[in-house]
Amino acid sequence: MSVQRENVHPVVRKLATATCLVALLPISMGALVTTLNAGMAFADWPSSDGQNMLLYPWFRDFAANPEKFTEHGHRLAGMLIGFVSVCLALTSYWVDRTWVKWFTTAILLSVIAQGVLGGARVLLDRQLLAMLHSVTGAAFFSLCVVFRLMCSPKWSDWRQERDERVGPLIASSVVLTPVIILAQYVLGGALRHFHTMLDEHLAGAAIVTLSASLAAFGLIRSQNGLLRRSGLMMICALLLQVILGGGSYLTKLGLPQIGYVAVAGSLSQTVICSMHTVFGMFLLSSSVVAATSMAVLHKAGRLGGLQLELSAVGDRGTAT
């Protein structure tokens, strides 16, 4: 049987890679903005202190006003991802197929929505909008990563590989893990923006660790190369996130039992807490990639373990 290849245009693939990389800039800067409590460094938007965003003397604030420097850097990074997403969408309209155009349009609209949401957060001065801006930013990055995966030259080959090892338990955990991680991301946002729900966030971390571990180790055993890579990516992101979570707890709250006292506003606290937010986004995107990959393979009839289970259920229903 011949396999029909549906490779994406190389220019679109390169722009998809650029979109993922550039998206890290506003997301990382946004995490730093929250850590420094710099979201309201400017009371206006889209201008900055009444000046054009591109003409504002940004570097002047590097030492004199780090909050303004960080917030304006976040805004400039948002403009950059907007420019790249426009290039991605226009290129796909010109050279590629329909499903690619739908994806790139969704990415562009998501960037626009993120910009408007960020602006509304400033104009209305609402912490709830700031938290929502962070959560939707993580969802946007997941969308970009999934699209880049589907642009891979190996995508068609991966869709043809069968797997007989992924059963209902692993499949259920793979589907539920992104939902659990997103809920944990919301709890983390509540902790960072409203300084509440610490206990809930710690409990959520334990649940995420269990769910993601079950899903990841199940996928690593898969016979399908795409699922194996998804599992490896998820377990690596989880390990880093657990380490950063412990570091965030120590630098934010300290540990009197061992004589460690947290210093508010310290460099270690700023860096580690911001990285914890960013790597939470990596964990979410890796889980979304795993769930999407499994859904595509299941639709293509490549997951024999699930098909056998469904067939057995059907046979029992017929017998009764």
Residue 310 has pLDDT above 60, yes or no: no
Instruction: Name 74's Cβ contacts closer than 8 Å, sequence gap at least 6.
Output: 26, 29, 30, 32, 33
Rounded to a whole number of angstroms, the CA Rg of the chain reads 22
| Range with the poorest average pLDDT among 64-68, 188-192, 247-251, 253-257 | 253-257
Residue 306 has pLDDT above 90, yes or no: no
Q: Phi, psi (5° rounding) for residue 135?
A: -65, -45
Would you tell me how many other CB atoms lie within 10 Å of the CB of residue 146? 17
| Residue 45: alpha-carbon gap to chain centroid | 26
Residue 318 has pLDDT above 60, yes or no: no
Q: pLDDT > 90: what percent of the chain?
A: 87
d(CA 315, CA 200): 43
- pLDDT mean over 173-194: 97
| Range with the poorest average pLDDT among 73-77, 96-100, 223-227 | 96-100
- pLDDT mean over 35-58: 95
